[in-house]
Structure 1
Amino acid sequence: MRSGLLALTLALTSLALAGCARQTELKPAAGAELPPTPYGEAIQPDAGDLLERPVQAAPERNVELRTRSEPREDDPFDLPPEG
């Protein structure tokens, strides 16, 4: 019982410490370089440019919330299973 409590306490403590990471500017590792310039680009993108996601990778959501119940429209693809 006591060893289980100790293990749980250690796990929670290590998880809390792992969340206390220091945030610094990203740079390539020592001796490493950024990837080569993309084909057709005139300038080499820096680390910040490479981390930005294009709109196609994370599109904005267009969600229309329904405020009241509405009957469903007929779905021509909602077919019964073939047996």
Structure 2
Amino acid sequence: MKKAFAVLTMFALSAALAACGSKKPLTRPAGDPVPAKPATAETAPDSDALVTPDSQARPNRNDEVLKRSQRRQDDRFDLPPTD
């Protein structure tokens, strides 16, 4: 009986968590002031521009696998520690 209760509880919790997500686009609440225009911008950004990350926030990844081994060049700054 405890096992069935635990399974039902887990099912109910997972169903409740699945229902939390919303798929509709973001909108500004009524009466909320528009964000101030940045000093260097020509126009104030719209809501899409505000939620789109720039290239510094999401850099491109380089997942290319090393195809051939290469010897490292000598590093003149790779010095042994001093006492």
TM-score tier after normalising by the smaller chain length: 0.5 to 0.7
Determine whether 1:27 maps to 2:44: no
Name which structure has the greater RCO, CA cutoff 8 Å, separation 6+.
1
Using the alignment, how far apart are the partners of 1:79 and 1:13 within structure 2? 61
**For 1:69 and 1:51, how far apart are their aligned partners in 2?**
42
Deviating 4+ runs (over 2 angstroms): 3-10, 12-22, 66-82
Number of aligned residue pairs: 78
Report percent identity of matched pairs.
Answer: 35
Alignment TM-score, normalising by the size of structure 1: 0.59
| Structure 1 residue 52 displacement after superposition | 0.6
What's the TM-score once normalised by structure 2's chain length? 0.59
Name the counterpart of 2:14: 15
Change (3 A) 1:3 1:66: same
Could you tell me how far 1:5 is from its partner in structure 2? 4.0
Where structure 2 has 5 or more consecutive residues not aligned to the other structure, the ranges are: none
